[in-house]
Every structure is written in structure tokens, then in C-alpha cells.
Chain A
């Protein structure tokens, strides 16, 4: 009997409690989720560390490409410079040989 009274009191009190808030998605929730996803999921690192690393990698790649192009160009110019010099030596050498032969 006492248990019955306790349960009745509990149920009466619970029935007077205000209704729960609706469990549907909050206003604009889906928009925020899609926006967060489109930004690349920054939440995985919190401070955008992955984005910084990505930018540094892109910059480093660009520097490597530019440096390689400059080195190649330099190498080509050295080749062009070396050729006339080689001709000069060849001319001088042939002149000396001619003089000695005479």
C-alpha cells in the first residue's frame, strides 16, 4: 500500500512537469553542418594546423620548381659560354701549332 502511494505521488508530480523541448534539429543546424564540412573540417585540428601545413607544402613545391628552372637555365648559359672559349683555345692552339710547324 505504501509503495502504491509512493508511485502515485511520483507519477502525479511527473505529470505536472513541463513538456520536454522538441527534439528536432535546431534552426539552421543543417546549414551550419554543411558550411563546416565545406570549409574542410577544420574541427579535426581545431587551430587549422592542417591548412597551414598544406600551404607550406604548396609554397615549398613552388620554390623547388623555380629553383630547378633557374639552375637549369644557369647550366644552359654556362654551356653557351664554354663553347666560344673552347673555340678560342682551339684557334690559339692551331695558330701555335702552325707557327711551330713553319
Chain B
């Protein structure tokens, strides 16, 4: 998104400042806009999902079997949507434990948080993700 913006706004580059500074300013502004956008709309709606993500949600609701390999990418995108609604610390814990497969002890060593805190954050994050997934599933019906 940042590279596209750089190309689109290239005519506005005056040349008075180094290109790196100008690009980094665009990157910072894009990130700030994204944060503001997420604050305005923290919830996820079923209609916001792509067709593939909706298919994953439908699959989760209708079947108890594991998702097929062609759903992996869509399921990852769906998880990223869910993670966006979490606090940064909770997001990090879920990413490390559930996505990258680290143990609680390894997360404790990496982050410096106590094992109990890691477990509590993971539990809270999972509760939130379950609630959000339930909302999305309800929106599908």
C-alpha cells in the first residue's frame, strides 16, 4: 500500500528533502491512518470478508473436519483479521504460541513476561477470538 501511494504521489515530491525521508513520512502517515481506521471500526463483519474467508467460516460452521489445504491462506487471512481486534500484547502471544508454535516457556524467555502472564494473555486473547468468530458466524446466518 505504501509503495502504491509513493507512485501515486510522486508528482508531489519537491526534491527539497531526501527521498528516504519523504517515503518514510508517507509510511508513517499510512500507518497512523490505518490505526485511526481500526479505532473507528474495531469490529469485523461477515460482509467485510473475502469469498475465500467466508468459505472458511462456512466450513468451520458446517463441518467438524480439518480445513483443506486450499483454505490455508484464507484461514490465515481470517486469523489476521481476528488478531487485528486484539491488543498488541495479546496479538503477540497468539502469534508466537498458536501460529509459530513456541511453548509458553519460550515465549517467557523471548518477551520477559512471566509464564503465568503469558498464559493469562493467551487465554484472554483466545476468548476474544472465539467471541469474534462467533459474531462472524452469526452474521453469516
Contact = CB atoms under 8 A, between A and B. Distances in A.
A52 B13 CA distance: 22
A7 B3 contact: no
A7 B129 contact: yes
B10 A10 contact: no
Contact of B130 (A7, A14, A26, A41): A7
A76 interface: no
Nearest to A11: B98
Given A7-B133, A29-B3, A37-B13, A15 B67 contact: no
Name which of A4, A10, A30, A36 has the most chain B CB atoms within 10 A of its CB. A10
A13 B98 contact: no
B13 to A, nearest CB: 6
Interface size class of A (residues with CB under 8 A): 20 to 34
Contact of A10 (B67, B69, B100): B67
Interface of B: 3, 6-7, 10-11, 13, 15, 19, 56, 60-61, 64, 66-67, 69, 71-73, 75-76, 78-79, 94, 98-101, 126, 129-130, 133-134, 137
Interface of A: 3-7, 9-18, 25-26, 29-30, 33-34, 36-37, 41, 43-44
Minimum-distance CB pairs A-B, first 6: A17-B76, A13-B67, A13-B75, A14-B79, A17-B72, A41-B11
